[in-house]
Amino acid sequence: MVFSVLTRVLVWGMFFAAVYVFNDFLLLLFLTFVFSYILNAGVRRLEPYIRSRAWPGHPVQRVFPGHSDDGDPLSHSAGH
C-alpha cells in the first residue's frame, strides 16, 4: 500500500518535472501533433485520387536520401 502511493507520487512528480523542464517546447510539440494529424487526414482523403508514381528505391537511398549514385549529393535538386 505504501509502495503504491510512493510510486504514484514519484511518477506524477517526474511528469510535472518534465513539464516544467520542457515548458518552452510544449507549444511546438503540441502544434506539431495537431498539424501532422490534420495533414494526415488530408492525405488520406486525397489518396484515392492520386496514383503513386514513386518507386521505393534502394534501401540505402531511403536511409541517406541526400546522396545519389553519381556522387553529387545535390544532383536531385532543381537546377542541376
pLDDT value for 3: 78
pTM score, whole prediction? 0.43
* φ/ψ of residue 27, rounded to 5: -65, -45
* Residue spans per domain, the chain: 23-51
pLDDT tens-digit map of 13-66: 999 999 999 899 989 989 999 999 999 999 899 888 877 666 666 666 667 666
pLDDT value for 17: 95
Q: How confident is the model at residue 8 (pLDDT cuts 50, 70, 90)?
A: very high
- In whole angstroms, how far apart are CA 14 and each of 3, 6, 20? 16, 12, 10
- Classify residue 23 by its DSSP letter: G
